[in-house]
Amino acid sequence: MPDQVTRLLVIRHGETPWNTEARIQGHIDIPLNDKGRWQAERVAQALADEGLHAIYSSDLQRARHTAEAIAQAAGLPLSVDESLRERHFGRFEGMTQEEVASQWPEEARRWRERDPAYGPDGGETLEDFYERCMDAITRLARQHPGQSIALVAHGGVLDCFYRAANGLELDLPRSWKITNASVNRLLFNGEGFSMVGWADNRHLEDDESASLDERTDGAVNAVARRA
């Protein structure tokens, strides 16, 4: 019987100027900075011999440009999928965590505590965002049984994937890292996801500074407050 398991490499985009400023990006189309472009080239080199069959990316340029480097190194076309976008943070986008907490302390509390039913004004609830992300990865995984695919997306998207693969609730504070241009490995058996490896950034080890964790994208939670 042929192997029907889909092997997924899920990658967060390279660094952006707003990552370094800890500004909430959401759906705002922020480009990679110089370090982010370097990270994209390094992760592309690391995955060039992975035997990938397809590469998918969020349509936002920070993810798309990271994925374009991977696609070029692998000699594959890139498929862009809007459903892999970061969570829509509504009126929070462009702000820092401190600015949100100062203007809307009660909303900041619900966000920090990961209230699944809460969404910023004009944005997505955590429940809706999780459903969107899981619908996307399940749909794409089902298209490639027995193959290996790469998905380039965003910190919040990868957080959903991690929770699904490990059976974790949405309101559980995050203790795992989701760094720029790290490689994370999942399996899909036709029914659900499991995790093989997480936060592999060996290809970035000669960088002078560590990649920024996803919490610098503005994903406020209890862990971030202690970090």
Catalytic residues: 13, 86
Closest CA to 77 of 57, 91, 94, 104: 57
Element (H, E) at 98: helix 97-103
Residues in Cβ contact with 205 at an 8 Å cutoff, skipping those fewer than 6 apart = none
What's the rounded Cα separation, in Å, for the pair 215 and 208?
20
In this structure, is the dihedral angle defined by the CA atoms of residues 188, 141, 217 and 205, taken in order, positive or negative?
Answer: positive
In the 8-state DSSP scheme, what is residue 125? Answer: -
What's the rounded Cα separation, in Å, for the pair 6 and 104?
43
What's the rounded Cα separation, in Å, for the pair 94 and 86?
14
Per-residue tokens: 96: 């820092």
